[in-house]
A and B are shown apart, each in its own frame.
Chain A
Amino acid sequence: MTDTGTLVISFAGTRLVIAWEGRSAGAILNALCLGDSTLAPGNGAGPHFWLSSAQTDEAICLHRWDRRLYEGPSAGVAAEILLDCIVHDLADGCRVGPLFHAAAASCGGRGLLLPGQTGSGKTTLAAWLASRGWDYLTDEIACIEQGSQEIQGFHRALHLRTPLSAPVERLIAAAVDGLDSACGRGVYRSSRGVIVPIEHIRPNNTYHSPEIRLIIFPQYLADADGDLIRLSPAQACVRLMGCTVNVRNLSGHGLDEISRLARGTPAYALSYGRLDHLTEKIAALW
């Protein structure tokens, strides 16, 4: 692995550049599995982000333009901050269609969109589905371009927030114990969560842009039974608008497009506290 380089992220019409230096910095970027990206040696001009690690004390330093976002010993914290800022900047620049705060997965070439706010349990659900054979597309943002039916998930490592549910802890623990070096990508922990490359859970994961088949709005509730409640198109439209992160970038704030999606795609609300039997319930809707 080289000690310096430039990562170019292209997603939904937006392009971000991350310059990096240092082995630890390169390892972090490798673990984050970012988008449709190219990792190349040499320094790029005008990067959005600059991530560096010192050779001696392994201190990590992260800048966004000329503003320092983090300087310290925790690669996990630096990785989390970088992930959050990347998502923010992608949302800020996306104008090709509604960009949803959503996880997404695919089965049999058809797409499942899982819109929800932070803490709704969409990453946990996406990780669980991946462990059950679904393709993982994203756990944070997904775009459906105007006039399209295809879900474009922002490819990145899973970012699971602590406290993790027991089944997910077992899933992660098993992966870390057995495969930390198999895919060459590490797992990073911080006080807020854990960043896990999808290969640890689904080694042969395939990224693609399937046509949307179903929308499920998840909400983790400790005592919930995992009931799926059908939503009307109007109810789905309202919820999707609440999960759209780039409304002000879109013509008519994207209402026409989101209404189109809501009218044409079955939508459900899911309250779940346990993961067992969820896959079967979702598959029954497929």
Chain B
Amino acid sequence: MNDADIPRHMAGYRLEDFGDELVLYHFTTTQVVYLNDTASLIWRLCDGQRSIADIKILIQEAYPSPPGQVEADLQKTMAQLVESGAIELL
């Protein structure tokens, strides 16, 4: 995973919106994915247009944090989203 990667939503998931949190459900695999408030925000930003670097800037502006913290949290969340099958990297 690097900053130039462009994440986008994986096809086949239905979204159930609980406000700050999201639930994704895949009808073929019956997999359910829970996204807390941070993961939900990041998932919503993964529109197939923005790169990880773009998303990092947006998150930093919205949630000012100590240097390196945003990058670490973002990397962790993105890895979880990829592992759960909710997003793919282009």
Contacts and interface: CB of A to CB of B under 8 A. Distances in A.
- Co-complex (A, B): yes
Interface string A204-244: 00000000000000000000000000001111011001100
Contact of A233 (B14, B18, B32, B35): B18
Contacts of A99: none
A238 B34 contact: yes
Contacts of B27: 253
A235 B34 CA distance: 7
A252 B18 CA distance: 18
A interface, over-half SS: helix
Interface in A235-273: 235, 237-238, 241-242, 247-248, 252-253, 255, 259, 263
Interface string B25-60: 101001011110000000000000000000000000
A158 B22 CA distance: 37
B21 A255 contact: no
B interface, over-half SS: strand
B30 A234 contact: no
A232 B23 CA distance: 11
B3 interface: no
B73 interface: no
Given A232-B21, A238-B23, A259-B16, A253 B34 contact: no
Contact of B34 (A234, A252, A259, A263): A234
Interface of A: 232-235, 237-238, 241-242, 247-248, 252-253, 255, 259, 263
9 contacts: A233-B18, A234-B22, A234-B23, A235-B21, A238-B23, A238-B32, A238-B33, A241-B32, A259-B23
